[in-house]
Structure 1
Amino acid sequence: MLQLYKNIKMLREEKGLSQDELAKLCGYTSRSSIAKIEKGEVDLQNSKILLFANALGTTPGKLMGLTDFDSKEPTTIAAHFDGDDFTEDELEDIRAYADFVKNRRNKK
């Protein structure tokens, strides 16, 4: 089995995400798709690898085992929300959506 599929499962479990939750973040309709991916039964397209990396808070290179997980890359996210307070979960959703928008822009 490719390192990619092992890393998807490892990171999903580290983040405390269920297969259903990861499926929703990556545009799948059921957890069975994630189960098949984690078993290496499904070959992922590059665009899906990017979605998984974004959903799991890593880079495609790290997810595929091309880069070490211990190497730290700086990440900066700046946003202004007029007086609104967001929970950490809501901020994570905002980050995931921002990544989705950037990915969509790159496909055009």
Structure 2
Amino acid sequence: MDDLPTYPKKRLSIIIEAPFLNRLLDLLDGLDVPGYSALPLLAGRGNSGSWRRDSLSSDAGRMVQVLVVLDEKRVAAVLKEVKRVLDRQMGIVTIGDVQVLRPEHF
């Protein structure tokens, strides 16, 4: 990648129960987050033990991951609002450094 310029950004990974996905996406839209991707999760393990999507009978236990890439200066404001949603239900947020090729998209 020495000859290809990249630009630093932050990636938020937000894992929540599927029934709360629309609430989170509406929140991100309201904050003018430049983009996100929502992915279904197939299985996992956490404080409550292991789970698998195919063994759940309703959406209540199904989990989704929302990935957001944005400028570091926006992270604190977005996290403050995301935390308000997560304070009322199960959720995990991780923050990481990423490099992008087209900074104007974020």
Say whether the fold is shared (TM-score over 0.5).
Answer: no
With structure 1 as the length reference, what TM-score do the two structures score?
0.27
Greater relative contact order structure (CA < 8 Å, 6+ sep): 2
In proportion to residue count, which structure has more strand? Answer: 2
The higher radius of gyration belongs to: 2
In proportion to residue count, which structure has more helix? Answer: 1
With structure 2 as the length reference, what TM-score do the two structures score?
0.28
